[in-house]
Amino acid sequence: MMKLGIFGNPVAHSKSPLMQNSALKSLAINGFYDKYLLLDGSKIKEEFKKLDLNGANITIPHKEEAFKNADEVRGIASKIGAVNTYVKEDNKIVAYNTDAPGFMKAIEEFGEIKSACILGAGGTARAIAVALKDANIEVTVINRSREGRLEFFENLGCTCYTTDELLSLSAIHYPLSTIIINTTSAGLKDDLLPVPKELLKQLMKNTKFAFDCIYGKITPFLAMARELNLRYKDGKDMLLYQGVLALELFLGTKITQSTIKQMDKCLK
């Protein structure tokens, strides 16, 4: 029997078990995907082995610890410094980041993207910025704080501002972009905008598409995009595709559209 799961803290709210178990069922695979509350991220490898898992996903706040503890890191994850997927291969743990390609897949329907404006500079922003830069897309990052946050993006070749730095410029110097992406948690459990209203309005006037990593609700960020007639979407497809790509890594094979549709239904 294939044993899979997700580590996080908190983890009770995660939709991954629902999504992955429905996929296993539709593929007639004898396996189960469970949730595991993990308080101490530095114990992740130990726990993975103790539970005798074949694969796992890792969510907040353990993606960086998971990166440090893996036996081997593959692909884009080594540039990001965080992983959300562990796969047992022989006797070692191989780690990947499927958030980054999951995001790129989610924005495919917007067509060609030349430049992106990312709000926020946490772990999700890092994954997205690396994926966009790898696709030769120009990236601007705006975060409310600088210390320990913006250096990573500057080293990656992104243009970076704190919100206050941008506010001190005249609006003609605000970045132009094809897409604006909210990676902050503003709007997740509150009614906040990621940056002050007038600034966001101007940034949205300078772009075509809006994407919020938060899923399942119209955040104040998405409400403004709608008001300004931008094409927009929430983070549901990012969640879906990171799960699809993780499942393909667990199984070592591509999965079909009908299974992807089945997984998608669980997120509605």
When asked if residue 27 is in the footprint of ligand NDP (CB under 6 A), the reply is: no
Using CB under 6 A as the binding rule, whether residue 264 contacts ligand NDP is answered as no
To ligand NDP, the closest distance from the beta carbon of 209 in angstroms equals 16
Could you give the residue ranges of the DSSP H alpha helices within the chain? 16-26, 44-50, 63-69, 77-80, 99-106, 123-134, 150-156, 163-167, 197-205, 220-227, 236-251, 257-265
> In this chain, which of 27, 188, 228, 255 binds ligand NDP, going by CB under 6 A?
188
Q: Give one DSSP letter per residue of 140-204, joined into a string.
A: EEEES--TTTHHHHHHHT-EEEEHHHHHTS-GGGSPP-SEEEE-SSTTTSS---SS-HHHHHHHH
Check binding of 214 to ligand NDP (CB under 6 A): yes
Q: Least distance from C-beta 28 to ligand NDP, angstroms?
A: 27
Q: How far is the CB of 41 from ligand NDP (least distance, A)?
A: 13
Look up residue 268 and give its DSSP letter.
-
CB nearer to ligand NDP: pick between 50 and 189: 189
Query: Is 50 part of the annotated catalytic residue set?
Result: no
Tell me the sheet residues that pair with 209.
Answer: 179, 231
Binding residue for ligand NDP (CB under 6 A) from 16, 143, 177, 207?
Answer: 143
Residue 183 binds ligand NDP (CB under 6 A): yes
**Distance in angstroms (rounded) separating the CA atoms of residues 204 and 225:** 7
Catalytic residue among 35, 63, 88, 233: 63
Q: Does 138 bind ligand NDP (CB under 6 A)?
A: no
Determine which residue in the list 5, 55, 123, 175 makes contact with ligand NDP, applying CB under 6 A: 123
- When binding is defined by CB under 6 A, the residue of 184, 200, 203, 220 that contacts ligand NDP is 184
Spatial separation of the C-alpha atoms in residues 51 and 175, rounded to whole Å: 48
Provide the mask over 39-68, with x wherever binding to ligand NDP is found by CB under 6 A and - wherever it is not: ---------------------x--------
Q: Taking CB under 6 A as the rule, does residue 81 contact ligand NDP?
A: no
Determine contact, residues 35/12, Cβ cutoff 8 Å. Answer: yes
Q: Order of strands, edge to edge, in the sheet holding 2-8?
A: 31-37, 2-8, 55-58, 85-89, 92-96, 72-73
Cβ-based neighbours of 139, under 8 Å, separated by 6 or more:
115, 116, 117, 118, 129, 132, 133, 153, 156, 157, 158, 159
98 binds ligand NDP (CB under 6 A): no
Structure tokens of 246?
């993780």
CB of 121 to ligand NDP, least distance (A): 4
Query: What residues line the site for ligand NDP (CB under 6 A)?
Result: 60, 99, 120-125, 143-145, 149, 183-186, 188, 192, 194, 213-215, 235, 238-239, 242
Catalytic residues: 63
